[in-house]
Chains A and B, each alone.
Chain A
Amino acid sequence: MVAPGKRRPGHSRRAQYNTFYNYLLAVGGLGIGVLLLVVSLGDTAAFAGARATANGAVAPVGQAAAGVRSEGQTWLGTIGAFFTRGSRVAKLENEVAEARVRLAEQAALKDENNRLKTMLGLIESDGKPVAVARLIGSTSSSTRRFATISAGSRQGVRAGMAVRSPRGLVGRVLEVGDTTSRVLLITDSESNVPVRRASDGLQAYATGLGDGTVRIRLAATGTNPLRPGDAIVTSGSGGLYRPNEAVAVVVSLLPDGAVARPLSDPGMTEFVTVEPVYDEVSATAAQTTSVKP
């Protein structure tokens, strides 16, 4: 439809100036945008406070929405499960068999770990979760993958803590507000998790691809011993993440690694636990290579 000619408001000098200032302000807004971008790209935590306050303000909505999400998914899931139960049972049986093997491996590893730790006299955090929180939102239209959880500094959450769901690693805390925190998901392209293959400890890095999968880059190049179906767990290097937390399963191979699907789909998760930083000393050293929000 045709608007009244706002650009030529007639002979009124006041109206003419008004139009002119409007355009001036519009171009000024553009300039402010560039300025804000430069500041936020330069300083990683520049607007963390504003974001935290804003997220805190809408947290109650997110809390309610999180409940709706989990309920809606159970409801839809029930219908879907009816049609796919045969293949799912077969798949689950496979998974249980795989899980049994992994459990045995883990028990052995835990045992070995305990012996080694007593030998070295290492002191670590006890691994009790700092907080249990709801996943109340995610940046669903940006290419960066952040989520908001309903626990903040009041619950004892600090930046750098690992966030996990019962199924596996979700991400780590990046910015902390009073009652909410922002989590960098492992599928973000800036997230880099030191991992290893569960079966033999093959070292690698899991970098997010931004589309819900992670890319496994091997620490040693040359051959690619990865196979689809390999389970990937955290290795604990760098001290941010506790070792042996489930991360992903390899789905397809690349020349120098693999694409893996994270085990903990944040969309299917309602509650997550925030875990203390595993090893403070090496984590502070690793923090120097910080992540830009």
Chain B
Amino acid sequence: MIGSVLLVILGIALGLAAGWWLPPNGRRPVVVRRGGARRILLPFSGESISRRAMDSALRLAVAEDATLMPAYLASVPLTLPLDAPLPARAEAVLPLMEAIEQRAARRGVVVDSRISRGRTCRDALSRLLASESFDRVVVPAGDGTESGFSPEDVAWLLAKAPAEVVVLRPGPADHDVVTGAVVRGHF
């Protein structure tokens, strides 16, 4: 008889302990975070990013359950120290990073942004390649205008990047870009 009572008390105690230990929804949280160990680098240097490149990177990230790493390549003039504040750039780039993150969030992709500085964009990219690890790099090839990576930059990247490089062929939709304007003042 006493044994049964003790067993009941023990059961109640275990139940209460489990209740405290588990989070309020009654189940251990399943880690639903998307974005595994794989990382996809999406470098850019201006105030906008090609929508095609962005969408390609997102498609890859969704397919591979990868983390998207948009990286702003900041070229710092020689007249400034490499770590100097760049408030005018920040004004343009931070809304763009927010826009990228919002777009990624709609696709359920985890974003881990980076800023890399150098004396040129290539220098900034070189420093980024040396300090970060990733599995793929997505870059839009330029069509001779200001947008996209030049053939020289693409060749350099292919030679230096310790990852698979996805080069997007120039296309008629390259004028379609993602900018920070969509979130300006709303984050």
Q: Do A and B come from one complex?
A: no
Binding site for B on A (CB under 8 A): none
Binding site for A on B (CB under 8 A): none
